[in-house]
Amino acid sequence: MLLRPNHPASFYVKSNWNHEHIHERYLTKREFLTFCGAGLCCLFTPHFFGFPETARAQTAKKGFIRTKLSPYYTALGGGKIRCELCPRRCLVSEGERGFCRVRVNRGGKLYSLVYGNPCAFYLDPIEKESFFHVLPGSTSLTLSTAGCNLRCKFCENWEISQAFPEDVYSYDIPPEIVVKKAKEMNARSIAYTYAEPTIFYEYMSDIARCAKRAGLLNIIHSNGFINPGPLRDLCNVLDAAQIDLKGFTEDFYSELSSGRLSPVLETLKILKQERIHLEITNLVIPTKNDDISLVREMCCWVKSELGPDTPVHFSRFYPLHKLQHLPSTPVSTLEKARAAALSSGLKYVYIGKVPGHEAWNTYCAECKKTVIRRTGYMIREMHLKEGKCAYCGEQIPGIWS
């Protein structure tokens, strides 16, 4: 369920439960509240969180709510600066913005325009973020602002990721309030996701520090397109990362994401070096990155550079955004990709967005028994003892407590 970005009084439901089609419709506020009353806790408007009774706190609005100076830029003289946050290293003139749309040069300094201004705010099962080896069955308070540093033609959240921050409805939610409400709602983690978290780095970093002090995990679902310096700084407060490895050729990244592969591979290696729990998602798009030989090459790289214990999720593509002319990924293609990954030596390989498929479950790499059985995002069975298979004692990588 999503807050419709361009309409503050209605809510948007998108379901992938049918294997062949996506069903979607908009809910009125009354329908939304009824839906929540049925037991699904999805949080968007500030009055759900007990914010102060002020018009500003109660109403989502367009425009800039807060800004914050970025630590990641270099002054070049003549009023120009270079952003050092992501591999684009945008050269930004006075009054102009970088590629991500949310960083502006004001007086020769780089400011974030989305600090404390989330346009999406949810309480989700952690499995929805494709973390299958982190606190199974727990909930995560998830958030995002507008903007992104890639231009993926297959983006599922393009309405916010490809938007200017002043064009979406956002709320004023400071870091300490995010953490306070996460604790009150019994979330065990805070997830930075939906649009690219790198572009709201300052907000994420401040929340993460507060969350650490409060005993919450910090998890990120990212495209991995970030420079090594900011990434290593973030690792000081980060617990787990789910990285979209969108393809395994530079041509794919250039054509479909307006990005580059090599910085993403470097991000994966740094996360491994920093001992951050890592999971990878590869969205398999028909005719674009579904060559099984390339899938096998990618999996061999993961095994060699990151280790065979790295969980990999092959996710089903549905026709969205600028690739609506392509068909959904055949389940058989996903099964072939998974078979290639397993034969390459990876131990934990999943099929995403095909609920009910046996590859949603977690199997012990040693005895092959099911240690976590899932139905959708619900945990039906879990046979782990202190992170080990309850049947044979094999250590299962992840964060279990």
* pLDDT number for residue 22: 31
Can you read off the two tokens belonging to residue 236?
Answer: 């000081």
Q: Could you tell me if 10 and 4 are in contact, meaning their C-beta atoms sit under 8 angstroms apart?
A: yes
CA 229 – CA 232 distance, rounded (Å): 5
> Quick one: pLDDT band at residue 32, thresholds 50, 70, 90?
very low
Q: Could you tell me if 115 and 337 are in contact, meaning their C-beta atoms sit under 8 angstroms apart?
A: no
pLDDT, tens digit (0-9, with 9 covering 90-100), for 152-165: 999 999 999 999 99
Average pLDDT across the chain, whole number: 88
Q: Could you tell me if 104 and 95 are in contact, meaning their C-beta atoms sit under 8 angstroms apart?
A: yes
User: What are the strands, taking DSSP E only, across 227-271?
Assistant: 240-244
Count of C-beta atoms within a 10 Å radius of residue 183: 15
> Quick one: pLDDT band at residue 43, thresholds 50, 70, 90?
very low
Question: Tokens 């913005």 correspond to what residue?
Answer: 97
CA 234 – CA 377 distance, rounded (Å): 28
The whole-model pTM stands at 0.87
Q: Could you tell me if 230 and 112 are in contact, meaning their C-beta atoms sit under 8 angstroms apart?
A: no
Of 348, 352, 285, 278, the residue nearest 314 (C-alpha): 352
- The domain segmentation of the chain, as residue ranges, is 367-401
* pLDDT number for residue 17: 31
> Quick one: pLDDT band at residue 65, thresholds 50, 70, 90?
confident
Name the DSSP class of 83. Answer: E
pLDDT at 214 over 70: yes
Mean pLDDT, rounded, for 178-200: 97
Lay out the sheet containing 217-222: strands in order across. Answer: 120-125, 139-144, 189-192, 217-222, 240-244, 277-284, 312-316, 349-352
Longest dimension (CA), the chain: 66
Beta-bridge partners for 279: 242
> Quick one: pLDDT band at residue 61, thresholds 50, 70, 90?
confident
> Quick one: pLDDT band at residue 30, thresholds 50, 70, 90?
very low
CA 77 – CA 215 distance, rounded (Å): 43
Mean pLDDT, rounded, for 54-73: 76
